[in-house]
Structure 1
């Protein structure tokens, strides 16, 4: 399998949204790395549309859940139903048993609902009572969230944030892109959406994942990845200001994510091995939701992305 085999997926997503190329690349990197994606952006920026377009281009079950404050954990996991005719309880599966799950506005539900996703996202299984149920081999959570400054939003627990492989940030379109959005909307009002030319099968996707996993990653770059993650925990060793700005650094999941996503990025670029620039290109989306800044940094207007950018400039490349 080669990156050109993903072209039909790219083309279908591009037919539904304008621009957002970095966001599309993040979805494909996450898909190839067997991870989950958190997408943050203001309402109306086509986050949900892009995720639905990706699901349409893949072979598998798709389900969307609208997260609300009154949602219950059983609404995600499922529940045991008593069957009078059999005289026993029977488990009725919830939406988590689909291949692709769109958790729309995930940070509008309270923490007890977020906790229902923890085992599923980390271990691809669900435990109800005394029994554990495996999830499908292809299982991916694509969650959208609004900025926490928006009315009715909650902070996601750090334990759940760490289970997202990447966090993509969707920004406003340019003037030219917004003009194209108006033209696309006009065309779509006159005709139905075109189905994808070809749906990517799960067998093809798993073959791509194997090809990504086999891509060469030099041991020196293993050291570079670990140095980057270690630097988020001990930033004062690299810069006095970085030490003041960072409260908590990234977990070992970040090191694993950097290696996986760098391989996927290199494979998408058509390269035969991972280079330092592949690691640096995916680092912001892997680290931004795993780093907690100090109140001092927030008071100085320092963003997580600014912290990561300075960190990347200071950690030596092998």
Structure 2
């Protein structure tokens, strides 16, 4: 289950994209974070600790291997199982992709290794926001071209389904939502509908809580300890690396950019003036000669001053 630090990392990586995509809608960053936490948080919260590019983490956000187990048991929509998928046009091609996705993800997520050991198992959910394979019949290219591996593509389909949920609840003209109302929309996103009599106790039940209850909890966490995270850009000046294990110097503003050097704790450097973009990353000059050497993660820097020392920052996201 994702925690506050995981949510902080997610916002640093995708916050700008989500804000841009939700502008002019009744949804906000914390609401979208809640969907991501519920759908694939158990995957990306583990993968973020590994040395993987962001695109690769997004590509590995697949899941749902449950097959049909009888009336009202297990999966009830296409494809019910491997046989059902293979019978569809281009079904063999899709199975191969869905099977490979499961094997790749299970290599890093132990909970899926048992399913991967069964050669008939494959993934039914694709992308950070889990678009279900039932849509393969209507939109095969999305899956066959693996568009779900790209965050923006997965986000757009998420928003499309959330808008559909708005209409089902009669919220189509709304410009804002309470967190409780959003949880109801999320239930429609998960199940296709919402029943007033059941409140938030609807959607997938994980043995402890229902989907609607989890969404509400995640929105609350994101707004609270996880924060409606608004990172202020560091001002230009002299800073000190305070990451115990050192700080990676990257070629661009994000973990998707390569790193050929790690700056040891205690390294002093100059932060260049901000030119916009993601404030989580800053441009740095290591030599003090006005030439830029790369980008570093801003959370692991502290202003140089007479009282500064090298301190641990173990609760911060990975640099």
- What is the TM-score normalised by the length of structure 1? 0.26
Quick check: which one's helix share is greater? 1
Larger radius of gyration: 2
